[in-house]
Amino acid sequence: MKTILLLEDERALNLGLTCDLELENYRVCSAFTIAQGRRIFRKEKIDLVLLDRSLPDGDGILFCREIKKERNIPVIFLTARDMEEDEIAGFDCGADDYITKPFKVPILHRRIQAALRRAEAEELCYDDGHLVIDFKRLTAALGGKSLALTPTEYRLLRLLIANEKTVMTKRLLLEKL
Ligand code: CA
């Protein structure tokens, strides 16, 4: 089950969307302020963030930057602002999609599904131009030359890539493997 962090300060919209997404089999952590959202983001394993732009304690864009610095998970903006420069600002901070209120719920569902699918596909492949790893087929090549890796080595590489911004200690790696 995928977990969505919903950060929206309009109470009725927040509650309505929470019910709705739960019916679609998502686990929803809902928050009304950036401070609450930040706490949840640090504690829970969030797969996708639905983020309002104007929140009581700041602009969603700042929180989006914070999220993207820590983990590369999809962020979809929900916003009443529909001016072009707002949309561009949303994408500049790394947002994956931008939905203008009022929106149709089935459309939101499709956008969430698409963002999650893209994230999953990205997670299964790594390519920095030199090292190419396909975690689905378990193939790897360095500078065009294929590498023979063991399943444990694939798991280890996947873990390191997924946590590229974190220092992984030996103990942490052993725990996760
Ligand atoms: Ca708002």
Q: What is the pLDDT of residue 52?
A: 94
Question: How much distance in Å is there from the Cα of 55 to the middle of ligand 1?
Answer: 5
Domain range summary for the chain, segments of one domain joined by + = 3-122, 125-176
Q: What is the pLDDT of residue 82?
A: 67
**Rounded Cα distance, 155 and 142, in Å:** 17
3 state SS of 112: helix
Residue 60 clears pLDDT 80, i.e. is over it: yes
CATH topology of domain 3-122: Rossmann fold (3.40.50)
Residue 83 tokens read as: 């001016």
Residue 170 clears pLDDT 90, i.e. is over it: no
Q: What is the pLDDT of residue 158?
A: 85
pLDDT digits (tens, 9 = 90+) for 85-126: 777 777 788 889 989 888 999 999 999 999 999 988 877 888
Indicate the pLDDT class of residue 40, thresholds 50, 70 and 90. Answer: very high
**Rounded Cα distance, 164 and 145, in Å:** 24
Residue 11 clears pLDDT 80, i.e. is over it: yes
Question: How much distance in Å is there from the Cα of 143 to the middle of ligand 1?
Answer: 48
pLDDT digits (tens, 9 = 90+) for 114-157: 999 998 887 788 888 899 998 888 899 999 999 999 988 988 88
Residue 54 pairs in a beta bridge with: 59
* Domain 125-176 class in CATH: mainly alpha
Question: How much distance in Å is there from the Cα of 64 to the middle of ligand 1?
Answer: 15
Q: How many CB atoms lie within 10 A of CB 162?
A: 15
**Residue in the block written with tokens 């394993």:** 45
Could you list the beta-strand ranges (E) of 32-118: 48-52, 54-55, 58-59, 75-79, 97-100
Question: How much distance in Å is there from the Cα of 101 to the middle of ligand 1?
Answer: 10
Question: How much distance in Å is there from the Cα of 8 to the middle of ligand 1?
Answer: 6
Residue 24 clears pLDDT 70, i.e. is over it: yes
Look up residue 150 and give its DSSP letter.
-
Question: How much distance in Å is there from the Cα of 133 to the middle of ligand 1?
Answer: 41
